[in-house]
Structure 1
Amino acid sequence: MINRLGFVFRRLRSLFDTLADPLRKDPDANQFRLSIPEAQTTTVDGDVGWGHRPPARLRCPRCEATIEHHDPRADIDCSRCVAEFSHEEFPDLELLCLVCPTCGDRMEHGQRHPNRFDVPEWATCHTCRYHWDFKHSY
């Protein structure tokens, strides 16, 4: 009889563990979300304003090297040739991508008003959910 109760208890415990596993806290997760990652529309972290623009990778028009531009208000200097540009010339250079300041991955970026602005107006990292927005008023 005790062996049978032990067997029933082990089976109930196994069933409980199977049902409870998805509800247990994941030590690697930084936040609890009810939606699947591909369907998330909210972000975890972010910044607003051109002064907080994520680092950019630009193409040098002289030697076609990649220029890393971390500070949006700093001048743009090519490390491969002698090309130098003012930070105000950013819209004239080819933007390769924006880089997430949190995880370092490429960010999706775009413009909401392409006829009014020559620069990206938003960027989102799909890896860590960081979002940047160029806040402006008319």
Structure 2
Amino acid sequence: MIDRIRLVVRWLGWILERIVAPLRSNPDSVGFTLSIPETGTTTIDGDVGWGSRPPALLRCSRCGSDLYHRHPYDDIDCPRCVATHSYEEFAALEFRRFRCPVCGSAMEHGNRHPNRIDVPEWATCHACRYHWEFRHSY
């Protein structure tokens, strides 16, 4: 009889541990830890508007090298040749990717209105959950 009581107590302790474990605080965690899998794609940090867009990597129209365009309103100058573009020519250059301003990773990007807007309208970093949106009227 004592062995059965010990077995039941051990079994209840195991169940209680499984219930309480997700509720414990984790000092290493930076986000919400009790989320369901569908909300795991939510972002932690982000910006809106072209003035706060992430740094971009473009292709030079003259020599084909990569151009790093940090700020959206800076001129675009090629470090390898003499090509110089105004920031207004951003859409005319071949866009390669955004670089996350928080962790430096390559960001996934896309267009919601590909036939109306020539530049990427959103970008998400899957490493740190940073998200950027292009503000515009629909």
Q: TM tier, shorter chain?
A: 0.7 to 0.9
Residue-by-residue CA offset, 1:108-129 (whole Å, 9 max, x unaligned): 1111111111001111111111
Q: Point out where structure 2 has 5 or more consecutive residues left out of the alignment.
A: 1-9
RMSD: 2.5
SS of the residue 1:73 aligns to: coil
> Which residue of structure 1 lines up, in the alignment, with residue 45 of structure 2?
45
Q: Kindly, what percent of the aligned residue pairs are identical?
A: 59
The one-letter code sitting in structure 2 at the alignment partner of 1:104 is G
> Which residue of structure 2 lines up, in the alignment, with residue 76 of structure 1?
76
Q: Is residue 126 of structure 1 aligned with residue 126 of structure 2? A: yes
> Which residue of structure 2 lines up, in the alignment, with residue 24 of structure 1?
24
Q: Point out where structure 1 has 5 or more consecutive residues left out of the alignment.
A: 1-10
CA distance in 2, matches of 1:32, 1:70: 31
CA distance in 2, matches of 1:94, 1:30: 35
CA distance in 2, matches of 1:64, 1:40: 38
Query: How far 1:18 moved relative to its partner?
Result: 6.8
TM-score (norm 1): 0.81
> Which residue of structure 1 lines up, in the alignment, with residue 103 of structure 2?
103
Q: CA distance change for structure 1 residues 128 and 120 in 2, over 3 Å: closer, same or farther?
A: same
Equivalenced residues, count: 131
Query: How far 1:32 moved relative to its partner?
Result: 2.0
> Which residue of structure 2 lines up, in the alignment, with residue 86 of structure 1?
86
SS of the residue 1:57 aligns to: strand
